[in-house]
Amino acid sequence: MKELWWISLIKAAVIVNLVMLAFAYTTWLERKLLGRMQNRYGPNRAGPYGLLQPIADLVKLIRKESFFPAASVNAPYILAPIVSLFTALAAFSVIPFGAGWKIWHYHVNGEVVNVPIALILIFALGSIGIYGFIVGGWASESKFSLLGSMRTCAQLVSYEVSLALSVLGVVLMGQSLSLVDIVHKQGVTFWFFGPQFVGLLCFLFAGIAETSRAPFDLPEADTELVAGYHTEYGGMRWGLFQTAEYVNLITLSALAVTLFFGGWHGPYAPLGPLWFFIKLFLMMALFIWIRATVPRLRYDQLMRFGWKVLLPAATLNAVVTALLVVWVR
């Protein structure tokens, strides 16, 4: 059912603020979990259990001097982190988190916007967001930043192919590119993580590389490139890059829940969005766990794994799924 435009506008504002709040406390959760896994406390000074640490970090970044290299290209240097954050937030707009509700006399959908090609839109926005990381490193006029942006370009372009192929099996089984339709299909049949287990593994590996998370964090490898593409960024400009990285992680986790784990559907009670957010939390905890336990790969190992292992596996999974779908029909 179509909802009124002003309801979509209000919902978009609420979702953006919720995602930003989720980003802030994802940083707290990551530092807490990493601390426990490494036998230390993590943040525990700002507020009870360190719950005010994200607020303290924000105040620190706002108060920092806004500097930039004298040789930098000003407009791209300033716009790069803004583009990265905007595309990361825009991608979340098509993620469905509920079946929809009747509030007073108005119908409210369970997503900001429902488009029939939502999956393509997410990949398109992700491709545009890559330009922010590439241009930011180039415009900084630093050899470390430039090398980081070159790594970003090679890594994200390589793994984006595998990421797209890994979800092709889900599209074939769901018979749609709409995320809402795919969730409804899982609600009346079964969750796709079982028959698409190979696709799920390919999606997780490619997703880690797409978000530049350990062990695939080569674009910003601190032991090799200082900080990679954002070496010359400080204050809130650096904060925008970090926000984009974590929002991309949240969006990727939400996409995995939507495509493979039934979205807002639960195993027994019809809790709707609560099931979605529980699964989202568990998926983000998995990514944090991987960061804490798996060492960083060398760059040649990263590229070899992407082209010689992940890409053939994702392609084979898509071909086998297509054959099975045609055979079942």
Q: pTM score, two decimals?
A: 0.93
Spatial neighbors of 57 by CB under 8 A, at least 6 apart, are 27
pLDDT in the model for residue 224? 67
pLDDT in the model for residue 162? 93
- Please report, rounded to a whole number, the percentage of residues in the chain having pLDDT higher than 70: 97
pLDDT in the model for residue 217? 83
pLDDT in the model for residue 248? 92
Q: What is the DSSP string of 76-92?
A: HHHHHHHHHHHHHHHHG
Rounded distance, CA 155 to CA 286, Å?
22
Between helix 273-293 and helix 197-210 the angle, nearest 10°, is 70
Rounded distance, CA 124 to CA 289, Å?
28
- Over the chain, what is the mean pLDDT? 89
**168-210: pLDDT as tens digits:** 999 999 999 999 999 999 999 999 999 999 999 999 999 999 8
Rounded distance, CA 105 to CA 307, Å?
53
Question: What is the Cα Rg of the chain in Å?
Answer: 20
List phi, psi (to 5°) of 171: -60, -40
Rounded distance, CA 39 to CA 288, Å?
15
List phi, psi (to 5°) of 267: -70, -25
